[in-house]
Structure 1
Amino acid sequence: MRVLVVEDEEHLAEGLRFNLEAEGFDVTVRENGEDALREFGEGQPAYDLLVLDVMLPGIDGFEVIKKLREIGEYLPTLMLTARGRAEDVVKGIAAGADDYLAKPFDLGVLIARIKGLMRRREWIVGSAPDSGDRVTINGRVIDFKNLSIEFEGDKQPLTIMEVNFLKYLIAHEGEVVSRADLLDKVWQVHGDTDTRAIDNFVVRLRKYIETDPAQPKCLLTVRGVGYRLERS
């Protein structure tokens, strides 16, 4: 498995390289966001996972993950945040990250989180609801096995967190799910946190599943509370 580590603190980056290589990973380290993005140019080898620091020289980790998602790179991403600030966590996940770890951290914990992230991907692949690994919402087919959504021949990749989000809503179809519950159960962010990032996250999902995202018929807002999914 190939892992890209984007970290500007040399001692930490080399520690990550050493420990991940000891676990059998093929590791590449980059010190800034610009160099990291170049790793995803045409002809570059594919990575299986990204470990991305938020605070980087030049463009920060939020911008890196945003740009990667914009160009269709949906590899699992673990974001490293300063002091585990809830606002960093929420912003990172809303931008497209799949998991987070607060600095400072134990390297053993990081390796466990990486393995957990890959297991989570395998769990998604192996535990889709209904009678298989494909669920239809408004004529859009969510393919849990391939982490994508298909409509009229077009396929849109999904992040692990987007799939987790959709699975949670499907499991509670017809019920009102609060923003706080989504933060807790899906994003695993606890305490008082600005929930506007969830609204932005939902806006992105509506572009995938709604005929007219400005007039949603499936992923509905329940004012002052949260959201309700109605499949059609």
Structure 2
Amino acid sequence: MQFCTNRPLVAVAVLCAALAAPVRVAAEDILVFAAASLKTALDQVAPEFEDVTGFQVIVSYAASSVLARQIHLGAPADLYISANAAWMDYLEETGSIDPASRVDLFGNKLVLVGNAQTAAEQAITPDFNLSDRLQGGYLAMALIGAVPAGLYGKAALESLGLWESVQDRVAQADNVRAALALVATGAAPLGVVYRTDARADPRVGIVGVFPSTSHPPIVYPAALTVAARPAAEQFLAYLQDDAVVEIFLEQGFTLPGG
């Protein structure tokens, strides 16, 4: 994990890690590049698809920005699932995906999380004193200049007039799950993540929910790459099956536009 901040925060050093080595993919495998926030849900549904079809689904999780750049540079992904439309647009414009296969799968909510023992959910408004609630600590966020969760988070804080008071106290992580880990381990008192991430770790709880009007709509588009193997089309269709969609909804995702 890359950690960026205006001041050192030694407590998070143990969370830093290099990108995983490239995986070997057999001809009958399906390689999915997916936004980190999808990990809990995809880890549940992928084995079920494997049991039914016999294909093996290999999922590489990272920030949507990192994965999109890797696909553009020739990474052998079959299916890309982003946490925002912009990085999918980038791959469409560069001819890296099949635009006819593109579909918006899910939506999400943006939340502020803290320690599960002290969290008390409330609406976040311009009167929310975020700076004081940090108590001298840092606000964990995914990279605010590239990663969707960071982009959404900064937009929301700016919209509510809260950004200026905390911009010098932001601890940036490579992806939203890394930001979540900073809060879960106590390295940061608060963090901005998706609602689904908050539900994925019992050590954190939701402190506040950002109004959907405070940031661009959160959407998860998916598309086959131009080099996708035929089985990938089956997995993309599987993700749109009613029973599979219900699993995602149970984990806190929403329908597109919801």
Same fold (TM over 0.5): no
Relative contact order: is structure 1 or structure 2 higher (C-alpha 8 Å, sep ≥ 6)?
A: 2
TM-score by length of 2: 0.28
TM-score by length of 1: 0.30
